Amino acid sequence: MDAWIASLASVVLVSLVSFAGVLTLALKKERLKGMILLLVSFSTGALLGDAFIHLLPEIIEETGFTLQVSLSLLGGVLIFFILEKFIHWRHCHIETSKHHPHPVAFMNLVGDALHNLIDGMIIAGSYLIDFRIGFATTLAVVLHEIPQEIGDFSIFLHSGMKTAKALFYNFLSALTSVIGALIVLVIGSSLEGFVQMLIPVTAGGFVYIASSDLIPELHKETEVRKSALQLLGIVAGIAIMASMLLLE
């Protein structure tokens, strides 16, 4: 029951992050761009930290570094590759332009809904393993969702949607995380080995997002001062995940 309460509260929180898009209306473009890049670097560290400090050590301690763990880890990488390659959705925080086109609004909505469904499954699976792991994973998801939701909101506005409609569709796609959590909570406790497979899949997905989507975006900024801030952001994200070990 504790896992149910914590999981559902966490995915509702993640869903509410979809309203972060209003920052595009409240902040000047240059300030928003700088803030997003800092958030991206912070979330990069958080995703990598959660994968290597919490998820993988936890599952290896429980089952050992087995072939199943390795295959599940690779499966996480492949799942997000498929999501991006064939549904044409990716973690991107660069403004839409003729030089950097984004998917059409409907395609982005479908891809984002699937991604949020997976996020919900990831969070619930983590709580079923351990409360601390669930909390750390929720934090990592929230941190990488903030800049992503800002990007999704701008895509909807660019497609011609009104502000209220864009916020509604962004929130609607975010609610699929609740469905994902319910799926895992219902079958996770009854299907033996399901959660043990989901955790390394999660780690693989986090490593893929950080290394193939977020870090390449950070490399586009070459100014020394801003690059140094990005490095500090990554280290801070890792440090936040490491500090969760004190909750034990």
DSSP assignments along 233-248, one per residue: HHHHHHHHHHHGGGG-
pLDDT band at 64 (very low <50, low <70, confident <90, very high): confident
Nearest 5°: phi and psi at 191? -95, 105
Q: Does residue 235 have a pLDDT over 90?
A: yes
User: Total domain count for the chain?
Assistant: 1
Q: Give me the amino acid identity at 20.
A: A
**Residue 30 CB neighbours (<10 A):** 8
Give the H/E segment covering residue 40: helix 29-49
Q: Looking at residue 247, what is its pLDDT?
A: 66
**What distance in Å separates the CA atoms of residue 11 and residue 116, rounded to the nearest whole number?**
9
**Is pLDDT at 189 greater than 70 in this prediction?**
no
Q: Are 96 and 158 in contact (CB under 8 A)?
A: yes
Distance (Å, rounded) from C-alpha 248 to C-alpha 163? 43
**Mean of the per-residue pLDDT values for the chain?**
84
Mean pLDDT, residues 31-45 taken together: 83
pLDDT above 70 coverage of the chain, percent: 88
Pairwise pLDDT comparison (91 vs 65), residue with the higher score: 65
Mean predicted confidence (pLDDT) in 200-228: 89
Residue with the two structure tokens 């899949």: 201
Least confidently predicted of 92-96, 168-172, 213-217, 228-232: 92-96
Confidence of residue 183 (pLDDT cuts 50, 70, 90): very high
Angle, vertex CA 209, rays to CA 204 and CA 210, nearest 5: 100
Q: How far is CA 8 from CA 55, 113, 160, 214, in A?
A: 20, 17, 33, 27
Mean pLDDT in residue range 196-205: 91
Segment 188-205 shows an average pLDDT of 84
Average the pLDDT over each of 75-84, 175-184, 235-244 and give the range with the smallest value: 75-84
Q: Residue 136 is part of which domain span?
A: 2-247
- Please tell me whether residue 175 adopts helix, strand or coil conformation: coil
As given in the structure block, the two tokens for residue 119 are 């996020």
Instruction: Label residue 99 by pLDDT band (50, 70, 90).
Output: very low
Q: What is the pLDDT of residue 98?
A: 47
Q: Which residues does 241 contact at the CB level (< 8 Å), separation at least 6?
A: 45, 46, 49, 50, 53, 54, 136, 139, 140
| pLDDT higher at 57 or 32 | 57
